[in-house]
Structure formats: structure tokens, C-alpha cells
């Protein structure tokens, strides 16, 4: 997903995305170690996607804290 699409999601939806991305990353890591991963670039893309989601989730959570405080 693009960053702009992720910014439109709620914090709860982003947490679900984080769990989904972590599962994908774990699956790709296992495939790599079993030497069944055809495109090793998928592993790097999965890491970047997870980082993107975590960054936006952190921004939202910090924004909620500042708004409440």
C-alpha cells in the first residue's frame, strides 16, 4: 500500500496491518532459509512495508497523545 492510503486508516487498522506485515516477513524469511524464495527482493520490500506502516502508526499515536494532552 502507498503511504497516502495508509494514512487514511485508523490506528486499529494499522495495528492489524503491522501483524499482517510481520507474518509476511516471517514467511519470507522461512522461505529464504529453505531456499525456496525465488525473488529475494520480496524480503527487502516486506521490511520496507513494515517500516512504513510502523512509522505511520507511530505518527498517529503521537498525534493522539499530543491532542489529548
Neighbours of 3 (CB within 10 A): 10
**Looking at the domain 3-68, which fold is it?**
Helix Hairpins (1.10.287)
Q: How far apart are CA 43 and CA 37, in angstroms?
A: 9
Using one digit for the tens of pLDDT, what is the confidence trace for 3-36? 999 999 999 999 999 999 999 999 999 999 999 9
Q: How far apart are CA 16 and CA 11, in angstroms?
A: 9
All three cell numbers of 58, joined, read 507511530
Using one digit for the tens of pLDDT, what is the confidence trace for 41-53? 999 999 999 999 9
Domain boundaries, the chain: 3-68
pTM equals 0.87
Residue in 69, 52, 68, 47 with CA at minimum distance from that of residue 9: 52
- CA torsion angle for 60, 65, 68, 69 (degrees, to 10)? -150
Amino acid at each position: 500500500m502507498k503511504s497516502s492510503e495508509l494514512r487514511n486508516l485508523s490506528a486499529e487498522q494499522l495495528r492489524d496491518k503491522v501483524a499482517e506485515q510481520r507474518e509476511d516477513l516471517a514467511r519470507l524469511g522461512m522461505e529464504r532459509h529453505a531456499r525456496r524464495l525465488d525473488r529475494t527482493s520480496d524480503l527487502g520490500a516486506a521490511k520496507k512495508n513494515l517500516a512504513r506502516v510502523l512509522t505511520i502508526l507511530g505518527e498517529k499515536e503521537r498525534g493522539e497523545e499530543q491532542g489529548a494532552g
